[in-house]
A and B are shown apart, each in its own frame.
Chain A
Amino acid sequence: MNEEILNALTEIFRDIFDNEDLVATPELCADDVEEWDSLSHIQLVVAIEKYWHIKFTAREIMKWQNVGEMVQGIANKIE
């Protein structure tokens, strides 16, 4: 399932960050993507919530340190 989530995230990342070369990997974090700042992070969360029809708490969002943790958070919600 995580692979499917990563593939979907890659599409969302490319759309939000306007970068067709971007590939979502579990290790990827904000420091690795020039356009990934506090504002685009929120846009990312909104896009993820819309795509999977889920809702995260503020604490869950603030806890993510990399894409791997983000994937785990999504998987927990859609299971």
Chain B
Amino acid sequence: MLINSLSFLAFFAIVVVVYFAPALRSKPAWQNLWLLLVSYVFYGLADWRMVPLLLGATVVFYALGVGVKQMMNGERWKAASRLTTLAAALGVALLLVFKYLNFFGESFAALLQGVGLSCSWTTLHILVPVGVSFFTFKLISYVVEIHRERIEPTHDFVQFATYIAFFPTIMSGPIDRPGKFLPQLMRSHTFEEPLALDGCRQVLWGIFTKMCIADNLALLTSSAWVMPTDFPASRLLVAALLFPLQMYADFAGYSDMAIGVAKVLGFRVERNFNHPYLARNVAEYWRRWHMSLTSWITDYVFMPLNIAMRDRGRIGTIIAVMINLIVIGLWHGANWTYALFGLYHGLLFIPLVFSGSFGRNRKLKPAAHGLPKGSDFLKMLGTYCLVAIGLLIFQAPSLSHFWAYVRALFRPSLLSIPSLGLPWFTYVGLLLLIACEWLCRDREHPLQFVHGPAASSRVVRWGIYYILILCIFFFQGQSQQFIYFQF
């Protein structure tokens, strides 16, 4: 059931009506039980065969959390550390078995064959559980946070299971942290009109970017990969340069929908994007892109590594950054393209570490004319191009496809004027998206009106909503699955 479908709308309407029904409203335990039930129904509709896995993993990690705390209470610190390590290893094993087993088996067999040894790997037919990369990270962080004494384990299993399976975010995130999310499950939720309305606006914006921008752009970018040499090189170049915007409209669109749906239920979940293409270098880009994943990996991979190598100075930082980004790349799936994607970004960090511009950047300030300063604009443009090259590696089905695409780019037809075949509205949508990125850079989403005519006039606000709804009806592209559903 896609989050932008009519069936989801009907499902969600039932969820909301029951969730805020007077019988449940003042009882958080009942509200959580209802949320848990509908979350499992939602997950089961995606793939019912994986429900036992989700439930089993939830039970095991719940018990591990309680166990770690008991050992810490008994001052058995080493045993608590060992149990936390076991929890992390179990989480990684879950990912390895379901996402990477075939990849490592095939790669190992190819390696042995490469050195003349006879070896064959029978590809196992392993079903990849939907959302496994997302809920596994939640499971791991729960136990690690208990061990770091940042949270207390919950003794309410329903509460914990609801945190793991929360339906708006289980498929593609954002990856919520237990410290922020679990306390929200400890209190009852009444319908908060301002938050719910903000959530509805965010859902509307998410649907618009996904259906009117990302789905239309997919026509151009996906066709280019089938047989790159069938297209003029200039068209391939434009497709490569537009893919970052398609990916953003798709994934940030999904995140907006998930965050908006959670807001209607009274929950605040992690923000996932902070206008990534306003970044002035690659380090800033990673602080603005898929923030719930990058902050997770920073906390649990980069920081421990960097702490362990802190006496090695910049070299230690570079090694930690490299490992961090390769892990981010491989998190997306079992393919050498993802490893190369991570390595490529890691290499882009090296000059930043040496120049000292790796850390936080100064706040963006516009020039007198209201647009970005010239130097900032050039840095944004350069960062965008570097990201586009990275995403070319990322979206390639294999390394050989990537090289074929790159070779196809360098042909005389690079200088021709490409025919893109995109619906005219796609360009309007893109311009609107780019303008909103800059003008609404201090807001979570563009439909949070804080000043101007839309903030003061209900007519203007509703006019904007109706225009967006009409655009969704008349200018939506051919329905495409969310890019991040595959992860």
Residues of A at the B interface (CB closer than 8 Å) are 34-42, 45-46, 58-59, 61-63, 65
Contacts and interface: CB of A to CB of B under 8 A. Distances in A.
In the A-B complex, list the 7 residue pairs whose CB atoms are closest, starting with the nearest: A58-B307, A37-B360, A42-B306, A37-B359, A42-B310, A39-B359, A46-B310
Nearest to B304: A58
B317 interface: yes
B304 A40 contact: no
Contacts of A40: 359-360
Interface string B93-114: 0000000000000000000000
Contacts of A61: 307
Contacts of B363: 34
A37 B298 CA distance: 11
A38 B298 contact: yes
Interface in B287-333: 298, 302-304, 306-308, 310-311, 317
Contacts of B148: 59, 62-63
A46 to B, nearest CB: 5
The DSSP consensus for interface residues of chain A is helix
Interface in B147-199: 147-150
Contacts of A36: 360
A62 B360 contact: no
B358 interface: yes
B360 A34 contact: yes
Contact of A39 (B147, B311, B317): B317
B304 A62 contact: yes
Given A62-B148, A63-B149, A42 B360 contact: no
B81 to A, nearest CB: 8
A61 B298 CA distance: 14
B310 A39 contact: no
Nearest to A49: B310
Interface residues of B, number: 20
A22 to B, nearest CB: 15
Interface of B: 81, 147-150, 298, 302-304, 306-308, 310-311, 317, 358-360, 362-363
24 contacts: A34-B360, A34-B362, A34-B363, A35-B360, A36-B360, A37-B360, A38-B303, A39-B359, A40-B360, A41-B303, A42-B317, A45-B307, A45-B310, A58-B304, A58-B307, A58-B308, A59-B81, A59-B147, A59-B148, A62-B148, A62-B303, A63-B149, A63-B150, A65-B150
B346 to A, nearest CB: 15
Contacts of A38: 298, 302-303, 306
A54 to B, nearest CB: 13
A37 B284 CA distance: 12
A77 to B, nearest CB: 16
A63 to B, nearest CB: 6
Contacts of B302: 38
A45 B303 CA distance: 12
Nearest to B306: A42
B358 A39 contact: yes
A46 B311 contact: yes
A62 B358 CA distance: 21
Contacts of B149: 63
B180 to A, nearest CB: 13
A40 B308 CA distance: 15
B150 A35 contact: no
Contacts of B308: 58
B356 to A, nearest CB: 10
Contacts of A58: 304, 307-308
A51 to B, nearest CB: 14
Nearest to A59: B148
Nearest to A62: B148
Nearest to B324: A38
B427 to A, nearest CB: 37
B85 to A, nearest CB: 12
A37 B360 CA distance: 6
